[in-house]
Amino acid sequence: MTIRIAVTTLVLLLGACAGTAPDGALVDPGTLVGEVGDPRNRARLHTELGAAYYQRGNMGIALEELRIAASADPGYAPVHSMFGLVYMELREEDLAEKSFERALQLSPNDGDINHNYGWFLCHTKRESDSIKFFLQAIRNPLYATPWRSYTAAGLCSLRTKNVKDAEEFFKRALRLEPDEPAALLQLGHIRYNQGNMDDARKLVSHFNKLRPPSAESLWLALRIERKLGERVAEQSYANQLRRRYPASPEYQALQRGNFD
């Protein structure tokens, strides 16, 4: 999972916040008609534009837009959360932490901010501390994507080998959003390790129908079919793994016959 998956509802559809210039760059709609509106609205527009550049991987321009947003309205909490995500991507951990802390001071119950700070803590080896921020996000009734925070809590629990809690978090995520990919795949791994091949097969099959199969999902599906004695299906997944991901660690494990 890449860091940028941590952004939730803050990053809106680009059409809602920005247009495209002839050279392909994003354009703040405020610059098209003159910078009008109150400071909070300007901060929101530039934060959304910064988030869009962040999603594209252009951290330099993202920072420029966020600085404009913060200058317009220093009390706008989402801009500080976005600063945190950009600094997190740039591995500027001290700056990221200060940005998240400022965002939480301004808006302590905001679901997206709590989720993003939790993700930061998880990626800075404070997995246990991260869980309370994911749960705080979920407690906000206005938070639009609680299943993402349950999934993130599950992933961070796995990092500390807490499979019991991880399993429960993934189950809660899938009750809210049955198509949540990461929860499907990770719960599939857990069911495989528990010896529940039927459930594991259903979970990874659902994952592979939602998006192009990954090396990880093909490898899990292959091993499930192997355990079930379905050699034709096993070979089909082996062929896909070889064709799609010949350089992957999963294909290297297949070549060595290292199935577990």
pLDDT digits (tens, 9 = 90+) for 184-216: 999 999 999 999 999 999 999 999 999 999 999
Which pair of tokens denotes residue 84? 């945190």
Confidence of residue 25 (pLDDT cuts 50, 70, 90): low
Residue 18: which of 8, 9, 10, 26 has the closest Cα? 26
CB 83 within 8 A of CB 99: yes
Maximum Cα–Cα distance across the chain:
67
Average pLDDT over residues 3-32: 45
pLDDT at residue 33 greater than cutoff 90:
no
Backbone CA torsion sign across 214, 215, 218, 223: negative
How far, in Å, CA of 121 to CA of 107, rounded? 18
Cβ-in-10-Å burial (0-12, 13-18, 19+) of 170 comes to buried
pLDDT at 26: 59
